[in-house]
Amino acid sequence: MASTSTPLTLPVLPLDDEVVLPGMVVPLDLSDAEVRAAVEAARAGTRGVGKPQVLLVPRLDGSYGAVGTLATVEQVGRLADGDPAALVRAVRRLRIGAGTTGPGAALWVETAAFRESDPGLPVAGRAAELVKEYKALATQWLRRRGAWQIVDRVAAIEGVGELADNIGYAPFATAEQKLKVLLEADQLARLEYALQLMRDHLAEEEVNDTIRKDVEEGVAKQQKEFLLRRQLEAVRKELAELNGESGSEEEDYRARVEAAALPEKVREAALKEVDKLERASDQSPEGSWIRTWLDTVLELPWNERSEDAYDIAGARGVLDADHAGLADVKDRIVEYLAVRKRRADQGLGQIGGRRGGAVLALVGPPGVGKTSLGESVARAMGRSFVRVALGGVRDEAEIRGHRRTYVGALPGRIVRAIKEAGSMNPVVLLDEIDKVGSDYRGDPAAALLEVLDPAQNHTFRDHYLEVELDLSDVVFLATANVLEAIPEPLLDRMELVRLDGYTEDEKVVIARDHLLPRQLGRAGLRSEEVSVDEPALRRLAGEYTREAGVRNLERSIARILRKIAAQSELGERELPAAIGAEDLRALIGRPHHTPESAQEPAERRTAVPGVATGLAVTGAGGDVLYIEASLADAETGSTGLTLTGQLGEVMKESAHIALSYLRSRGAELELPVTGLRERGIHLHVPAGAVPKDGPSAGITMTTALASLLSGRKVRTDVAMTGEVSLTGRVLPIGGVKQKLLAADRAGITTVVIPKRNEPDLDDVPGEVLERLTVHPVADVREVLKLALEPAEVLAAVG
């Protein structure tokens, strides 16, 4: 073989898109004409002396490179498939020179030696580190491919250039990358480049392995899940066939939606959700949300409506039978039904395309029958009744519903009430609307604005349903104890109906016709076994309970009947039993409320000067309010006005106004006010644990102070209410009916009210006015004249 420095003339064997590096042994397909011509030319040029030599020249993109690889033809034969091939061994790099001629049809060229750096042996330093790392990475790659027989051969390579040229066997190296290795003269740089190629490939393989592993695990899980689902579907199908059912759950939902009589927009929304359900996996939480939503939509009575009972006389009869009194409320319900009947008779139908349901606000103290009145209204109209308790509700979502994305989302209480009623036009009672609160979760009262507005509620949209709901034909009734606690915008959308409480006669009728029969059944007694006469019921209402409603009265009747039932079982009483007024003390103890007029003079609240009886309105109805005044001793040195009893700002102002008026008019009223500068006045309103406020105690405070200063007592049968001004005018107040009912219950016979409240007496029951002497007054002088005992009476007593 010629020396490596001797120029050679060699036939060119072109390699299309391939590069063979020194040290590689590769087969070449002789069926290619250029390859066959080069091999034959090489064999002809040697003439049997030595092994034929060819120059392997890479031809990339149709152009020849400037460097080729000298290769010896080791063997010519056929491959396993019978195709002719030649096995060549690449020896070293040669530079390509000018073309020349030679035997055969191949292209011959002159070559020159390729000068390259040689780090020499033994390898040390940086070269040794690169060799070690390359062998380690090559070994790792070969083991990953299962090429164990090549690992030892790579480990035995000592030369730096030879080790770098080994990258030519790597299938991941591109022809361009191999060409760069072929052209690199610096063996150390060549190894660094080959090492970088190996690093990049192994890093990519690790990522691919990770991805492939994840994909395989995912595919295996999906295959397992698919198999289990198929098995589950098969089991469900068998069970459905056994039960006479057919079809999948999704198909069942689609069939239910298509069969349901839904409004067009609701149907479209429901079918969209069915489409999502069919695409969703059973394990997806969205599937559960969609099923719950579809169930809710399908359960709503979209086209169910109750026919109104337009028998006006019959409706009035139902209201009268269920409730005694409450004439205003009954009249309003009858008016509403009469108008609807006339519009229906005339074919007017809806109002402006909407039905315009009524919204009534029943405001009154507890126990007067506000809630039970809603049931009577529904029965009178022939509609379904449902009650929505709003007391303590602070979350706006309770009214408008939760968004479906929240865990445990539900529609609002209005939608749930309609679903419970089974009709789109029920009577909905919004109970305790004045107890609605607000916090960081929103204002439920603000959410009720759209619900109760007849101009808006025909397109009410619940956050959970997200479809329009027509509430315009729903009759809304709202109940409240305190009118001032209802937000003003909400109250503006309702028609106010006041329930101020019952008279004693009405309570007796209610107890006889409603409470007693109900409690007899609860106590396990029959009407022929126990009877309670009217005087006993009247005493229960007047002396054992003092309230605007009848709740405590019913409790007292229940106590009596329980006691009788227990005595009967113990053998202490024979049935039937007739209960009279004289039997009450033995059964339920002494009376808790005795009229002031019936007490002994020494026990009267107004037995000393400085105590006056006022009237007030609380959440429990009207009540009697006592105001006490005392004068400090001059020797104590205390001055000014002291107020106690947990009074509000308005009530404190009334006290200061009353004192200022008396000081300015002391001489005119013949009151000793000159000494008030050195003596303090203490004004107290008993029941100090109860907050009190309002202007209606003004004349009561003035009377108490005038009584204190004059030494004249306040008449025990007189109670009063009214606001006072600095000039002595008596100004109007509210709640006249409730206050007069409270005065009647307390045994008061004379009541002083502002002159401008005189028209309010029309609302007071006639039997109450017969028992009371009402004095409308316009000036404080008239109040003092009526309320204070005459001076001559005081002197005679002294």
Residues 6+ apart with CB under 8 A from 520: 526, 527, 530, 561
The string of DSSP letters for 705-772 reads HHHHHH-PPBPTTEEE--EE-TTSBEEP-S-HHHHHHHHHHTT--EEEEEGGGGGGGGGS-HHHHHH-
Catalytic residue, candidates 178, 330, 737, 739: 739
Distance between CA atoms of residues 533 and 576, nearest Å? 13
Query: Is residue 419 flagged as an active site residue?
Result: no
> What's the CA gap between 43 and 636, in Å, rounded?
143
**CA 355 to CA 401: how far, in whole Å?**
24
What is the widest separation between alpha-carbon atoms in the chain? Answer: 169
Residues 6+ away with beta carbon under 8 Å from 157:
135, 163, 166
Asked if residue 563 belongs to a known ligand binding site, the reply is no
Q: How many CB atoms are closer than 10 A to CB 608?
A: 14
User: Does 213 appear as a known binding residue?
Assistant: no
Whether 785 has a binding-site annotation, put simply, is no
Residues near 764 by beta carbon (within 8 Å), at least 6 away in sequence = 736, 737, 740, 741
- Joined together, the tokens standing for residue 791 give 């001076």
Strand ranges for 207-345 from DSSP E: none
> Is 696 among the residues known to form the active site?
yes
Between helix 249-259 and helix 285-299 the angle, nearest 10°, is 30
**What tokens were used for 50?**
């030595």
Q: Are 536 and 581 contacting, i.e. CB atoms less than 8 angstroms apart?
A: yes
365 is annotated as contributing to ligand binding: yes
Instruction: Check the CA dihedral 334-340-343-346 and report its sign.
Output: negative
- d(Cα 138, Cα 511) in Å, to the nearest integer? 103
Question: Among residues 423, 696, 707, 710, which one is catalytic?
Answer: 696
CB 497 within 8 A of CB 363: yes
Burial class (CB in 10 A: 0-12, 13-18, 19+), 586: exposed
DSSP element (H, E) containing 125: none
Please indicate if the annotation marks 367 as binding a ligand.
yes
Q: How far is CA 64 from CA 26, 36, 175, 429, in A?
A: 20, 18, 13, 96
Which H or E run includes 327?
Answer: helix 327-345
* Other Cβ atoms within 10 Å of 555 Cβ, number: 16
State yes or no: 648 annotated in a binding site: no
Instruction: For residue 454, report the phi and psi dihedrals to the nearest 5 degrees.
Output: -60, -20
Element (H, E) at 774: strand 773-777
Q: Which residues contact 401 (CB under 8 A, 6 or more apart)?
A: 409, 410, 411, 412, 415, 462, 463, 464, 465
Tokens of 22: 């020194």
CA angle centred on 146, ends 144 and 152, rounded to 5°: 100
Q: What φ, ψ does residue 285 adopt, rounded to 5°?
A: -65, -25
Residues at the binding site for ATP are 364-371
Active site residues: 696, 739
